[in-house]
Structure 1
Amino acid sequence: MKIFLVGGAVRDKLRGVLPKDNDWVVVGATWDAMLKLGYKPVHSGQEAKDIPVFLHPETKEEYALARCEKRTGSGHAGFAFDISPTITLMDDLSRRDLTINAMALPFAEEKLGELIDPYNGKADLEHHILRHVSPTFIEDPLRLVRVARFAACLGFQVAPETMVLMKQMVAEKKVCELSSEQIWKELERALMGAYPENFFDVLKQCGADSILIPDMDISDSSIKALQRAANHKDSAYVRFAVLMHNQSQNEISAFCKQFNIPNQYRDLALLTSKHLAQFRRVPELNAGELLDLLTNIGAFHNKERFDNCLRIFELCTQDPSSIEQVRNVFQAAKSINTKELASNYIGHEINRKIKVLRIEAIQQCLKSPDDRHLVVFNI
């Protein structure tokens, strides 16, 4: 039995990046042998036999039996695997998607050995190239979206011959086999890449965008704002809302429903899309309208939502002066002692009085810059 570190862990080590996870391949072992050594299968039932991945008894890292695959049906899951102990490391590496993911490091006596690189993945890594391992690349449509995601995360270029295969996959409608969940999973990871605009560029180059995300009309301003968010390492929720900020409420809702996108993404995107036009008018708004904006974006009850909204507005408009004004009037409005009012008024009178006093505080803030700074300072 021989053990090898493979895939993304090797790629990241060569890039000088700490791998998030270590993936191992075991050559010359059987299912029963792994169980006897204390390894626990990750999956159960038939899935465990089809995907022979085990957790190390101590490190809990994933160890997979070396395998070959053969196309047996449509879709990403339409493969049969051969996991016999006669399968070699080269057999296993040959089934991988990209050369940069088809490298291995032998592990013996508690240390890693010399790089095994049958497809010149290291050279492609150094030249920032995404290149397929073999013509079987075309058999799995998910690989097309993964290439786009790697372009977003690594900033690499797609090799011309790989782009040819990707265009063929589109022409043959293979990408239609992908589920909405698979597409969203790759998009979500691409959004958190350093170069998220590359994801959409690659899909557009190969023609997959019109099939995978046909109703997503992405403007240049959205892409530029998304890249600014990536440059500042903003959260995935902020990045998604920025991407969707030019979409209508109905378009955002439909897109999120189609791809079963989590509510936290949807809600923030809807909120900021709804109130972005109002934010663009901040210099023209009166005190009452500014209070409405603050209330609508959760300023008084949800600080995280409020901060996220302002961050998205700033990324989309590049208007720091309006951001500063909103924060200043918020500090003025927040200075009102609502607890004291609650002890002096009852029912709806409390809310009415709070609103009146907050508007007065905002008016004072807008009237005199000097007084505004004093209000902020005293808080």
Structure 2
Amino acid sequence: MNIYLVGGAVRDSLLNLPVCDRDWVVVGSNAATMVAHGFRPVGKDFPVFLHPESGEEYALARTERKTAKGYTGFSFHAGEEVTLEQDLMRRDLTINAMAQDEHGNIIDPFGGQQDLANGILRHVSPAFAEDPVRILRLARFAARYGFTVAGETMDLMKQMVAAGEADALVAERVWQELAKGLMERRPRYMIEILRECGALRVLLPEIDALFGVPQRADYHPEIDCGIHTLMTLQCAADMGLSLPERYAALLHDLGKARTPSEILPKHHGHDLNGIEPVRAVNSRLKTPKACAELAELVCRWHIRLHSLEQLKSSTVLKILQQTDALRRPERFQTALNVCVADARGRLNFEHAAYPQREQWLALLAAANRIDAAAIAAQCQAEGKPQQIAQKIDQARLQQIAACRRTLFGV
């Protein structure tokens, strides 16, 4: 029985990156022997065991065979005769198909170390095409490491999409990989690769539709709506924003695909026109509630949030109420963070000031500075409980107006 460290742990150690999880492959053994050594079986589809002390996963070396379309259509064979190279051959990318023995020697039958050195993502074998999830994983690795995709691998992914493999992906798995990719250092790379191979058109057609849609060059020197979306997403990542914020950045301008620039060069109404496609994406991907809510909130309100100085005090109060900012100030602040990324996600505006964020927070603080309980008690004492809401609004409006005079001198 020989045991090897495999996969991501080997890859990341060679890149001098922290190793979070360690996976092991056992060659020349069987399930009975593993159990006899105290390993606890946990695998359903193939033999995987937990180490009795470390709790790390140890899998018997195995081969796999495609039996149906999609990422679940596989049968596996694990036996004492399966070699380490056979096990590594079934893996997706060369950089993930390396092993390390107990003496620290690297076993690299497919050139993973060279591809690591050159920053290339390359498939191990034609079997890559049998699992459409690998398209998403490759795009995610590009977002993590900033690597480029080998030409033959991109060609293979295009063939997979054309063959309908991407259509077989289920929503949960798409969201799982998308969410991970969005949280990587260069999430725009993930979207760019999915678009290049054609998978974006299948998985996120609402995003794909933005590319090639022009907008006013004076405000958007990058011109293309799709490029602006990528820049906004990358800015959100550079700011260290959370997953809901990055997801909202990705979806914030979906309405621009519905407001043709030759008719409406400023894309007037793209905020409201974007609500339906945002909801469609949320529904199709079964997006978690926090992400779905923030994406719709930002899409609906980002234009108004940008335009604060032109708004009346009464309008400011209505927006604070309709965005639920008075009850959920933390969520409102995350929406403002996305607005910062949106404003800076433009060519030559990457470091632009965005005073609206702090101004909105100051106005929100002013609106919350009133003593609502005291106002309610006074109305009750006067026998006018029906006026409570009106009086609270009046008090908030006064605070907002005073704050606006301080901020803008009006």
Amino acid of the structure 2 residue aligned with 1:12: D
Distance across 1 between alignment mates of 2:21 and 2:164: 33
Distance across 2 between alignment mates of 1:223 and 1:370: 33
- State the 1:371 CA deviation: 9.8
Distance across 2 between alignment mates of 1:266 and 1:148: 22
Secondary structure at the aligned position of 1:215 is classed as helix
Secondary structure at the aligned position of 2:101 is classed as strand
Aligned runs of 1:9-158 on 2, under 5 Å? 9-43=9-43, 48=44, 50-107=45-102, 113-158=104-149
8 Å Cα contact 1:167-1:206 kept in structure 2 = yes
- State the 1:314 CA deviation: 1.6
- State the 1:348 CA deviation: 4.0
- State the 1:157 CA deviation: 0.2
Q: Pick from 179, 189, 200: which aligns with 1:188?
A: 179
The residue number in structure 2 matching 1:330 is 364
8 Å Cα contact 2:359-2:407 kept in structure 1 = no
Amino acid of the structure 1 residue aligned with 2:365: Q
Q: How large is the RMSD of aligned CA atoms in angstroms?
A: 1.9
Instruction: Answer yes or no: is 1:222 the counterpart of 2:229.
Output: yes
Amino acid of the structure 1 residue aligned with 2:157: M
Secondary structure at the aligned position of 2:58 is classed as strand
Which stretch of the first structure deviates more once superposed, 207-216 or 118-127? 207-216
Secondary structure at the aligned position of 1:64 is classed as strand
- State the 1:370 CA deviation: 10
The residue number in structure 2 matching 1:250 is 276
Q: Pick from 242, 246, 264: which aligns with 1:235?
A: 242
8 Å Cα contact 2:183-2:243 kept in structure 1 = yes
Distance across 1 between alignment mates of 2:286 and 2:116: 34
Offset from partner CA, 1:268-296 (integer Å, 9 cap, x none): 11111111122122111111111122223
- State the 1:53 CA deviation: 1.5
- State the 1:249 CA deviation: 1.1
Secondary structure at the aligned position of 2:355 is classed as helix
Secondary structure at the aligned position of 1:54 is classed as strand
The residue number in structure 1 matching 2:151 is 160
Percent identity between the two aligned chains: 40
Offset from partner CA, 1:194-235 (integer Å, 9 cap, x none): 111111211222222222322333422221110001112211
Aligned runs of 1:277-288 on 2, under 5 Å? 277-288=303-314
Distance across 1 between alignment mates of 2:181 and 2:205: 18
Amino acid of the structure 1 residue aligned with 2:323: I
Q: How has the CA–CA distance of structure 1 residues 371 and 59 changed in structure 2, closer, same or farther, with 3 Å as cutoff?
A: farther
Distance across 2 between alignment mates of 1:328 and 1:186: 38
The residue number in structure 1 matching 2:214 is none
- State the 1:72 CA deviation: 2.1
Which stretch of the first structure deviates more once superposed, 118-127 or 339-348? 339-348
Secondary structure at the aligned position of 2:85 is classed as helix
Q: Pick from 402, 406, 409: which aligns with 1:364?
A: 402
Distance across 2 between alignment mates of 1:209 and 1:309: 25
8 Å Cα contact 2:46-2:77 kept in structure 1 = no
What are the ranges of 5 or more consecutive residues in structure 1 without an aligned counterpart?
373-379
The residue number in structure 2 matching 1:375 is none
Q: How has the CA–CA distance of structure 1 residues 270 and 114 changed in structure 2, closer, same or farther, with 3 Å as cutoff?
A: same
The residue number in structure 2 matching 1:376 is none
Offset from partner CA, 1:113-143 (integer Å, 9 cap, x none): 2111111211111211001111222222221
The residue number in structure 2 matching 1:198 is 189
Distance across 2 between alignment mates of 1:96 and 1:166: 16
Q: Normalising to structure 2: TM-score of the pair?
A: 0.84
The residue number in structure 1 matching 2:220 is none
The structure 1 segments of at least 4 consecutive aligned residues displaced by more than 6 Å after TM superposition are none
Offset from partner CA, 1:310-345 (integer Å, 9 cap, x none): 111221124612112212212222221223323323
Secondary structure at the aligned position of 1:275 is classed as helix
Aligned runs of 1:206-355 on 2, under 5 Å? 206-216=197-207, 217-218=209-210, 219-247=226-254, 248-318=274-344, 320-346=354-380, 347-355=385-393
Distance across 1 between alignment mates of 2:406 and 2:284: 49
Aligned length: 363
Amino acid of the structure 2 residue aligned with 1:35: V
Secondary structure at the aligned position of 2:82 is classed as coil
Secondary structure at the aligned position of 1:82 is classed as strand
8 Å Cα contact 1:364-1:371 kept in structure 2 = no
Distance across 2 between alignment mates of 1:189 and 1:369: 40
What are the ranges of 5 or more consecutive residues in structure 2 without an aligned counterpart?
211-225, 255-273, 345-352
Amino acid of the structure 1 residue aligned with 2:285: F
Distance across 1 between alignment mates of 2:99 and 2:131: 22
Distance across 2 between alignment mates of 1:80 and 1:370: 67
Q: Normalising to structure 1: TM-score of the pair?
A: 0.90
Q: How has the CA–CA distance of structure 1 residues 124 and 54 changed in structure 2, closer, same or farther, with 3 Å as cutoff?
A: same
8 Å Cα contact 1:94-1:134 kept in structure 2 = yes
Distance across 1 between alignment mates of 2:24 and 2:375: 63
